[in-house]
Amino acid sequence: MDVLLSAATLAAEDRSWFDIPAVRVVGSILGALLLLAAIRSMFGKGQGK
């Protein structure tokens, strides 16, 4: 049992966060939202009206 546990631990440590597709999708969505918010704050509602 200890061998299986240590093998699973090594497999989990070997894997990068960027190898997990859901993490990449969530990161892409958050990045796009932050970029959109930055662009809107530069060119959007704050000026003129």
The confidence score (pLDDT) of residue 42 equals 92
Tens digits of per-residue pLDDT, 1-49?
555 555 555 566 677 877 888 999 999 999 999 999 999 999 976 555 4
Question: How far is it, in rounded angstroms, from Cα 23 to Cα 27?
Answer: 6
Q: How far is CA 13 from CA 6, 10, 30, 39, in A?
A: 10, 5, 25, 37
Question: How far is it, in rounded angstroms, from Cα 42 to Cα 34?
Answer: 12
The confidence score (pLDDT) of residue 13 equals 66
- Helix (H) / strand (E) element for 1: namely none
> Are 23 and 17 in contact, with CB atoms under 8 Å apart?
yes
Residue 45: phi and psi, rounded to 5, are -65, -25
The confidence score (pLDDT) of residue 19 equals 83
